[in-house]
Amino acid sequence: MIQSEFDVLRQVGDSTGHREFAERMVRALSDGLQALENLPRGDEFWRGWANDHAMAHKLNALVAERLQGDPADRNARWTLVALALAHGANDGGLPLLGPEIAADPTVVADALVIADWVGREIGLDLTAELREACAWADRSELEALARTEGGEAARAALAVLEPRTPLSKGD
């Protein structure tokens, strides 16, 4: 049932101090679920499933298929990230964010939240994954963002892009 994923996202959001981000992930998951529920039951997607009940594993299959067909599908991408976080994936969906960061360097703030979320919840260091995702950003745009008020996430992303710079709990 999808409700358990909503609950997990909210609980972990509370426990990690990322309540606002968790609510955005709940909305992404809800939007993905709505797309699954709105899919006509005669659609090719439903072939091979034992039933047409909207469930998390079917949602994952649908949005993965959509993202593969259209790499610019932001809703599919964020639904996959939300599912990864709700299911305790070791990478928290962080590798999915590279294209988002390339399109909008401010997304590095979300990448940092995911790395912190996984570090606090699972205890894994995602510095390598964070470095890979942040490497998609246009360096000059990231540097410009880092020079602005509120550019802490961009500054942290630039720091993590430096070789051998581990992500600390305080970043």
Helices 2-16 and 74-86, interaxial angle, to 10°? 80
Can you give the pLDDT at residue 166? 54
Residues 171 and 160: their CA atoms lie apart, in Å, by 10
Q: How many Cα atoms are found within 13 Å in the side-chain-facing hemisphere of 158? A: 16
pLDDT digits (tens, 9 = 90+) for 53-108: 889 999 999 999 999 999 999 999 999 999 999 999 999 999 999 999 999 988 99
> Do 80 and 1 share a structural domain?
yes
| Domain hosting residue 51, numbered range | 1-87
Is residue 21 domain-shared with residue 96, that is, in the same domain? no
Structure tokens given for 67: 């993202």
CA-nearest of 94, 171, 109 to 142 is 109
pLDDT digits (tens, 9 = 90+) for 103-122: 998 899 999 999 999 999 99
Percent pLDDT > 90 in the chain is 72
- Checking if the pLDDT of 8 tops 80, the result is yes
Q: Which amino acid is at 140?
A: S
Residue pointed to by tokens 């976080």: 85
| DSSP code at position 57 | H
Do residue 35 and residue 54 come from a single domain?
yes
Short-list 103, 107, 109, CA closest to 153: 109
Q: What are phi and psi of 160, to 5 degrees?
A: -70, -20
Residues 104 and 145 in one domain: yes
Answer with the one of 67, 87, 107 that is the final residue of a domain. Answer: 87
Where is the domain boundary, 71, 87, 103? 87
Residue 44 neighbours by CB distance under 10 Å: 8
CB atoms within 10 A of CB 20: 10
**pTM for this structure?**
0.88
Q: What is the DSSP letter of 72?
A: T
pLDDT of residue 150: 87
